Chain A
Amino acid sequence: MIDTILVVAATLVAAPLLGGLISGLDRIATARLQSRVGPPVVQPFHDVIKLLNKEPVAVNVWQVFCAYAYLSASMIAVVLFALGSDLLLVLFTQAVGAVFLVVGALSSTSPYSLVGAHRELLQTLSYEPLLVLVAVGIYLQTGSFKIADTRAWGAPLLLKLPFLYAALGLVLTIKLRKSPFDLSTSHHGHQEIVKGLLTDYSGPFLAFVEIGHWFDVILLLWLCSLFWATSWTGMILLVAVTYALEVVTDNVTARMNWRWMLGYAWAMGLTLSVVNLIWLHVR
Chain B
Amino acid sequence: MFEQITRGSRVKSPWLLHYDCSSCNGCDIEVIACLTPVYDIERFGIINVGNPLHADILLVTGAVNHRNRKVLENLYEQMPHPRVVIAIGSCALSGGVFREAYNVVGGVDKVIAVDVYVPGCAAKPEAIIDGVLLGLEKFKKLSNNWRGVGGIFREAETNES
Contact = CB atoms under 8 A, between A and B. Distances in A.
Contacts of B80: 54-57, 202-203
B40 A195 contact: no
Contact of B81 (A35, A49, A50, A55): A55
A57 B48 CA distance: 20
B26 interface: no
A31 B152 contact: no
Contacts of B12: 40, 43, 46, 50
Interface in A260-276: none
B42 A56 contact: no
Contacts of B6: 49-50, 53
A195 B51 contact: yes
A189 interface: yes
A190 interface: yes
Contacts of A38: 40, 42-43
Contacts of A158: none
Given A46-B12, A188-B48, A202-B54, A56 B148 contact: yes
A162 B159 CA distance: 57
Interface in A183-208: 187-190, 194-195, 198-204, 206
A198 B53 CA distance: 10
Given A34-B37, A38-B43, A54 B81 contact: yes
A64 interface: yes
Q: Which of under 10, 10 to 19, 20 to 34, or 35 or more describes the interface residues of B?
A: 20 to 34
A52 B149 contact: yes
B53 A199 contact: yes
B47 interface: yes
Contact of B45 (A47, A64, A190): A47
Given A35-B37, A49-B6, A64-B152, A40 B49 contact: no
A10 interface: no
Contacts of A283: none
B28 interface: no
A27 to B, nearest CB: 8
Interface in A18-72: 27, 31, 34-40, 43, 45-47, 49-50, 52-58, 64
Main secondary structure of the interface of A (DSSP, over half): loop
Nearest to B10: A50
Contact of B42 (A39, A53, A190): A39
A206 B13 CA distance: 14
Given A38-B40, A38-B43, A49 B5 contact: yes
A49 B56 CA distance: 13
Interface string B13-24: 101000000000
A58 B152 contact: yes
A45 B13 CA distance: 9
B9 A46 contact: yes
B48 A45 contact: no
Interface of A: 27, 31, 34-40, 43, 45-47, 49-50, 52-58, 64, 187-190, 194-195, 198-204, 206
Given A37-B42, A56-B146, A194-B51, 18 more contacts: A27-B42, A34-B37, A38-B42, A38-B43, A46-B12, A46-B45, A47-B9, A50-B12, A52-B148, A53-B6, A54-B56, A54-B82, A56-B80, A188-B48, A189-B47, A189-B50, A199-B53, A202-B53
Question: Which are the 4 A-B pairs with shortest beta-carbon distances?
Answer: A189-B50, A202-B53, A49-B9, A46-B13
9 contacts: A36-B40, A46-B13, A47-B15, A49-B5, A49-B9, A53-B9, A54-B81, A56-B152, A195-B51
